[in-house]
Amino acid sequence: MVLKNKIAAPDWTALRLTDRIKPNLRVLFVGINPGVRSAVTGHHFAGFSNRFWKLLYDSRLVPEPINHEQDDRLTEWGLGLTNLIARPSPGINELRPAEYVDGWTVLDAKIRRYRPDVLALVGVTVYRSILPLISKRISDPRPNVIGPQRLSIHGARVFVLPNPSGRNANFSYSEMLDAFVRLRRFTERRRSALEPV
**Exposure of 71 by Cβ count < 10 A (0-12 exposed, 13-18 middle, 19+ buried)?**
buried
The structural domains of the chain, with segments of one domain joined by +, span: 18-194
- pLDDT score for 142: 57
Residue 97's identity, in one-letter code, is P
* pLDDT average, residue stretch 135-144: 56
Contact 85, 33 (CB under 8 A): yes
pTM of the model: 0.87
Q: pLDDT (tens digit, 9 = 90+) per residue, 18-63?
A: 999 999 999 999 999 898 888 888 899 998 889 999 999 999 999 9
DSSP 3-state assignment of 150? strand
Region of poorest pLDDT, from 78-87, 133-142, 169-178, 183-192: 133-142
> CATH: 3.40.50.150, 3.20.20.370, 3.40.470.10, 3.40.50.300. Which one for 18-194?
3.40.470.10
Contact 89, 33 (CB under 8 A): yes
Quote the radius of gyration of the chain (alpha carbons, Å). Answer: 17
- pLDDT score for 11: 79
